[in-house]
A and B are shown apart, each in its own frame.
Chain A
Amino acid sequence: MNLYSWVQIIFYLVVLLALAKPLGSFMAKVYQGERTFLDHVLGPVERFIYRLSGVKPEEDMNWKTYAMAVMLFNALGLLTVYVLQRLQAVLPLNPQGLGAITPDSSWNTAVSFASNTNWQGYGGETTMSYLTQMFGMTVQNFVSAATGMAVLVALIRGIVRTPPSSPHFQKSKIGGQRGIGNFWLDLTRTTLYILLPLSLVVSLALVSQGVVQTFSPYKTVALLQPTTDANGNIVAEQVLAVGPAASQIAIKQLGTNGGGFFNVNSAHPFENSTPFSNFLEMLSILLIPAALCYAFGKMVGDTRQGWTILITMTIIFVAFMSLAIWAEQSGNPSFTSMGVDQAQTNINPGGNMEGKEMRFGVANSALWATATTAASNGSVNSMHDSFMPLGGLVPLFMIQLGEIIFGGAGSGLYGMLAFVIVAVFISGLMVGRTPEYLGKKIEAYEMKMASIMLLIPILLAKVGTAIAVVTVAGLATIWNTGGPHGFSEVLYAFSSAANNNGSAFAGLGANNPFYNTALGICMFFARYWLIVPALAIAGSLVQKKKVPASGGTLPTHTPLFIAWLIGVIMIVGALSFIPALALGPIVEHLMVFGS
């Protein structure tokens, strides 16, 4: 690691944290129904949407109604993506004449995009028509992110609002008063005021860097240096896949989606062309999750609470990113024996460069890998499968922590709040009081729901992997046999699906009925079985009075609490996955470097 790499990383973190505050306060305003500078332009559009769709903005929902709206809306999205794929051959905007997609792959992709996972069993440019990409994928990129953010905001309202009988009761500015908000309102406002404007800015910036945005068919160009194929035929031209990529990539990064337009995702030069586009795309991965922390603090009326969570996330992020960079920079002993120079010198950045773009190098690849798995983004600019065992362990473990280190748009923070509830519960007991968080008592019901939120992803990932490694169908497409690496690949695939990340370790043939179906099931339950308990917590908390803080109240904004929260997250993550990791990356590392 040279100084130049460190400067890039520090610059990245500084810009990210600096943007969290202004964007976060803007989001808080949007969700609290306050005036923003976009009201002149977007206000009429918003009201038009409500009139058109018959949404009553003043209506307030209880948690069950809210959950029902979320479910209905997501089911509709899932169905649309499925039907689009099945029928794309007969639908317009298909210049390459791509055929219909198999039922299992369509199910997998539909769940994947509706659930904000964006696991891709397919290669985009050889499978999906422009229509499917735009009306299926891109639309879901927006609304699946907006769904996550809406659920988070509903949970925050549960914390903030109090029953009308309480002296802390305040009539909310939008929506009614007793519920946790209006899903349609939250969905619309998120998309309209936050996601669309941000995507517009990022898309234009990406286009300026050379990321493609066109409806024209794939281009055929003459090769500068003709070559021969395996059969000895001369190959003089090449088909360049293009399409409306920039618009999809912006939201793919911002909405923690990660589903690439092209198969190799952001390692593709048309998807990620320059160091600046790389920086912008990396920034977009963590931007909204980071800003939501600040918005959270703002909405609960104590920005320190938001900073506490943001700092917790950042510390874990930096620690694991450093591990990944160190592991990759140390290089691969097997390459050394093959005579590859991996030493860092003034003219050679060194390190393990297998599976990495020369344009990005070790630092930016490891940084991206950590960021994309910390957030439930899953886009890649390098191949995680080719990382060193510990370098690969980092993205794998970041996913297994439950996608809460920044995490998905909205879903990351509500997942984190489940951990906060558990941390507050145990530490609250330790100071001799019924635990409370931000004035709301944490009792049996909240514990039940928070436990479910912790349990589900762990259960899905572990059981899914277990089934895959002992069934014929599961074993059939593990290409890396004869060691722990094949196991890591399966574990990664199920961890990724069970936490709605969507990145792949690759090396595993996943586009077949077994994996398409199994991973689809994981993605589905990982998303919706967490949304429902999160909303249930909101519904329970909103009915509770606020307990005023006193000297006996556990402060949840201190360095001590940050340390404790990190401890709880790491212990739960480590205790759940250490045995599996020991049989995968850990033993692989010991085998490579052992003795």
Chain B
Amino acid sequence: MTIQTKKQSPYRRETIRGQRAIVASFVKLNPRLMVRNPVMFVVEVGSVLTTVLWIQALLGQGEAPTGFIGAIALWLWFTVLFANFSEAVAEGRGKAQAESLRKARQDTPAKKLRGNATDVQNALSKTEVVSSTALRKKDLYLVEAGDILPADGEIEAGIASVDESAVTGESAPVVREAGGDRSAVTGGTRLLSDWLIIRVSADPGEGFLDRMISMVEGSKRQKTPNEIALNILLAGFTIIFLVVCATLLPYSLYSVSAAGKGTAITITVLVALLVCLIPTTIGGLLSAIGIAGMDRMIQRNVIAMSGRAVEAAGDVDVLLLDKTGTITLGNRQAVEFIPVNGVDVKDLAEAAQLASLADETPEGRSIVVLAKEKFGLRGRSMGSSDDAPEGMHFVPFTAQTRMSGVNFDGTTIRKGAPDTMIEMIQSSNNGVPFDLKPAVDNIARMGGTPLVVARNNRALGVIHLKDIVKGGIKERFAQLRKMGIKTVMITGDNPLTAAAIAAEAGVDDFLAQATPEAKLKLIREHQMGGKLVAMTGDGTNDAPALAQADVAVAMNTGTQPAREAANMIDLDSNPTKLIEIVEIGKQLLMTRGALTTFSIANDVAKYFAIIPAAFASTYPVLNMLNFMRLATPESAILSAVIFNALIIIALIPLALRGVPYRAVGAAQLLRDNLLIYGLGGLIAPFIGIKVIDMLLVALHLV
């Protein structure tokens, strides 16, 4: 997200952010906050306990050398602080973004309307200026060029260009108008031209910007389902290790009396052992991982409405992708004229060009251009029907007629969808040429869109409009298939056309002649089979399907209902981003799994460090297990505790960045991650503890 904050050197900004995170690490020591994280709470209790033991030692009643207890206590506090620091750093990034968003949301004067109005003159007489906080749902307000929009809403009347950079970071203005799919506006954005009358869609504090702020700040962060399950497992491990350490005291007492020598294990060593064993690495980094996951979404300009949605993205089995704009370039291009019934191809091209002269759509333009390029034909005029040459009257496309064309000199030329055109030809009792249908079908089979051209209700031929599949999209789908995700193309085209494009783009399935109902039905069917469905949408008619989908991404340019129904909003309005969203979701889960494995695997080495040291006085022979050859029992225990604390700091970057996801099968992912984090987790602490021990000895600290 490219939100401008006050001009500062990047270095200074980082320093301030770092200072804030350090302060926050101490604030978070509050036990009422700590108790939410059972693993780190245990560490904090251990820190307090060892500190008390240290004070006792200072008073001359120590169970072990004062310096040793003090050092353990200090490093246990560091362990807690490091964990808090990781969380604070993750939150800090969101906080900076939230601050600049908040600036955009400041109170602004609003021109509230008393009663209805449909144009600016009418409206101006009815306005009263109030604070933006006084606006409530259903109120109407007026904005004019230069005004900041005081609240979210739907445009009732007017068309205007809006600077939405406060929300999207995109400086190019966008056009917003009443009706259609571009009627939603966001509070905090600025009107650049014209005027709008807007109906408020959110009460103060509940607007889009407010929700965004609370999301990026993480203030509303709730634990996600997988996070809860993982927390239960970690709590289970913590209980096991609590019991292991607590029972070690009686075992040690018995062993001392049975062996007849040595002293029982000290509370300090037991606490140190406990903190080393409980999964502090993952426990300390867990919330940072979650916040960082949300943050990665934001960096890609996607606002997730909940952490649950981000997590669900990793589970997606089926992606519903709109054909236009996602799989193909937004516009179709004319590539061929196919005459029928012996008509001259040039005749057809000329008729097609005439019919398309006023057609401003990319398809229409491409017909004109094709005719010009192939046959050197120049339209007699270009432009809309208003300034057409004498006698030339253009008929625009409407949803009812499903055709467009031109009337001049008593001649009518029409082009349109084959079925409506054929119907028109038949209704005027003109025969349908025998080769029309085959030509139409042939184009459809090749994935093209046929447009039939007729003059005076007689068929001349067919225009072949072709969808251009985006480059590289086929490889993308192959990757998704490897990830186990099925892609379904959604299109309004007929099944033949859809099948051809589906084959060309390499999607697994398609839904042709898709209606909102058909989309909804398709999603339900997949969900009944236990699959998770993701889709993008922008129109109001997408809203039901968006609400039904497990991961629903609305385009920021979309309508208010679509944005309400979705659980993520893509500020760039780029439908291809769904694929990235899935990867971020998977990364989030993988990071948690990998660090859990790492954390537990670490314990093996810590046992080899601590157990021989803890019972050295009772059973000196156990020192044979000290194959790391750690210098003294004290240095061994201290090294393990220091390693345990430092590893949290060392892994903060990984927690924030996430374990990289590669689109390979699950089996290979598991193998790679087990090698890195499982085997690595076994080996790393042996090396780390030994190095710390050597340092401690070299610095004469033990």
**Interface residues in chain A, defined as those with a beta carbon under 8 Å from any beta carbon in chain B:** 165-168, 422, 425-434, 439, 442-444, 446-448, 451-452, 454-455, 458-459, 462-463, 465-467, 469-470, 475, 481-484, 486-487, 545-548, 550-555, 558, 560-561, 564, 567, 571-572, 574-576, 578-580, 582-583, 586-587, 590-591, 594-595
CA–CA, A448 and B594, complex, Å = 20
Q: Which of A430, A482, A583, A590 contacts B669 (CB 8 A)?
A: A430
Closest 5 CB pairs of A and B: A552-B484, A429-B593, A432-B586, A550-B484, A451-B236
Residues of B within 8 A of A595 (CB): 621
B228 interface residue per 8 A CB criterion = yes
Q: Is the interface of B mostly helix, strand, loop or mixed?
A: helix
Closest to A587 in B: B619
Closest to B585 in A: A432
A579 touching B611, Cβ below 8 Å: yes
Interface CB pairs A-B, < 8 A, 6: A166-B530, A422-B233, A431-B670, A459-B240, A564-B678, A575-B277
Q: Which of A429, A572, A594 contacts B592 (CB 8 A)?
A: A429
B314 touching A167, Cβ below 8 Å: no
Residues A470 and B254 in contact in the complex (CB < 8 Å), given A582-B615, A590-B624: yes
A430 touching B315, Cβ below 8 Å: no
B482 interface residue per 8 A CB criterion = yes
A462 touching B482, Cβ below 8 Å: no
CA–CA, A428 and B255, complex, Å = 42
Q: Of B101-109, B242-250, B408-416, B442-450, which stretch is located at the interface? A: B242-250
Instruction: A470-B250, A579-B273 given; name 8 further pairs at CB < 8 Å.
Output: A429-B594, A442-B229, A466-B249, A469-B254, A551-B484, A575-B603, A580-B247, A580-B248
Residues A552 and B485 in contact in the complex (CB < 8 Å), given A432-B589, A447-B232, A487-B255: yes
Residues A433 and B529 in contact in the complex (CB < 8 Å), given A567-B678, A590-B621: no
CA–CA, A452 and B232, complex, Å = 10
CA–CA, A471 and B528, complex, Å = 59
Residues of B within 8 A of A582 (CB): 611, 615, 622, 625
B674 touching A455, Cβ below 8 Å: no
- The smallest beta-carbon distance between B616 and chain A, in angstroms, is 12
Closest to A567 in B: B678
B399 interface residue per 8 A CB criterion = no
B233 touching A447, Cβ below 8 Å: yes
- The smallest beta-carbon distance between B276 and chain A, in angstroms, is 11
A564 touching B619, Cβ below 8 Å: no
B251 touching A487, Cβ below 8 Å: yes
Residues A458 and B593 in contact in the complex (CB < 8 Å), given A165-B528, A167-B528, A469-B253: no
- The smallest beta-carbon distance between B608 and chain A, in angstroms, is 9
Residues A444 and B258 in contact in the complex (CB < 8 Å), given A430-B670, A553-B484: no
CA–CA, A191 and B548, complex, Å = 49
Most buried by A among B249, B482, B528: B528
Residues A433 and B674 in contact in the complex (CB < 8 Å), given A576-B240, A590-B622: no
B607 touching A578, Cβ below 8 Å: yes
A444 touching B611, Cβ below 8 Å: no
CA–CA, A543 and B596, complex, Å = 29
CA–CA, A548 and B603, complex, Å = 36
CA–CA, A591 and B585, complex, Å = 53
A579 touching B666, Cβ below 8 Å: no
Closest to B249 in A: A466
Residues A463 and B243 in contact in the complex (CB < 8 Å), given A165-B528, A470-B253: yes
CA–CA, A555 and B239, complex, Å = 30
Q: Mark B517-529, 1 if CB is under 8 A from A, else 0.
A: 0000000000011
Closest to B236 in A: A451
Closest to B593 in A: A429
Q: Mark B655-683, 1 if CB is under 8 A from A, else 0.
A: 00000010001110111011001100000
Q: Which of B273, B669, B677 contacts A431 (CB 8 A)?
A: B669
Closest to B485 in A: A552
Chain B interface size, under 10 / 10 to 19 / 20 to 34 / 35 or more: 35 or more
CA–CA, A459 and B315, complex, Å = 35
CA–CA, A454 and B247, complex, Å = 18
Residues of A within 8 A of B481 (CB): 551
B322 interface residue per 8 A CB criterion = no
B115 interface residue per 8 A CB criterion = no
Residues A575 and B251 in contact in the complex (CB < 8 Å), given A591-B621, A594-B624: no
A455 touching B239, Cβ below 8 Å: yes
A552 touching B483, Cβ below 8 Å: yes
CA–CA, A583 and B254, complex, Å = 10
Residues A432 and B669 in contact in the complex (CB < 8 Å), given A447-B229, A575-B603, A579-B607: yes
CA–CA, A551 and B481, complex, Å = 7
- The smallest beta-carbon distance between A517 and chain B, in angstroms, is 19
B670 touching A579, Cβ below 8 Å: no
B154 interface residue per 8 A CB criterion = no
Q: Which of A425, A452, A546 contacts B530 (CB 8 A)?
A: A546
B590 touching A458, Cβ below 8 Å: no
- The smallest beta-carbon distance between B390 and chain A, in angstroms, is 64
B607 touching A548, Cβ below 8 Å: no
- The smallest beta-carbon distance between A479 and chain B, in angstroms, is 12
CA–CA, A575 and B605, complex, Å = 11
A426 touching B596, Cβ below 8 Å: yes
Residues of A within 8 A of B463 (CB): none
B230 interface residue per 8 A CB criterion = yes
- The smallest beta-carbon distance between B510 and chain A, in angstroms, is 18
- The smallest beta-carbon distance between B530 and chain A, in angstroms, is 4
B587 touching A432, Cβ below 8 Å: yes
A547 touching B233, Cβ below 8 Å: no
- The smallest beta-carbon distance between A377 and chain B, in angstroms, is 26
Residues of B within 8 A of A571 (CB): 600-601, 603-604
- The smallest beta-carbon distance between B224 and chain A, in angstroms, is 10
A469 touching B670, Cβ below 8 Å: no
Most buried by B among A452, A475, A548, A551: A551
Residues of A within 8 A of B228 (CB): 444
Residues of A within 8 A of B661 (CB): 432
Most buried by B among A433, A482, A561, A587: A433
CA–CA, A547 and B277, complex, Å = 35
A469 touching B674, Cβ below 8 Å: no
Residues of B within 8 A of A546 (CB): 530
A427 touching B593, Cβ below 8 Å: yes
A554 touching B667, Cβ below 8 Å: yes
Closest to A491 in B: B251
Residues of B within 8 A of A165 (CB): 528
Closest to B273 in A: A579
A458 touching B240, Cβ below 8 Å: yes
- The smallest beta-carbon distance between B109 and chain A, in angstroms, is 48
B259 interface residue per 8 A CB criterion = yes
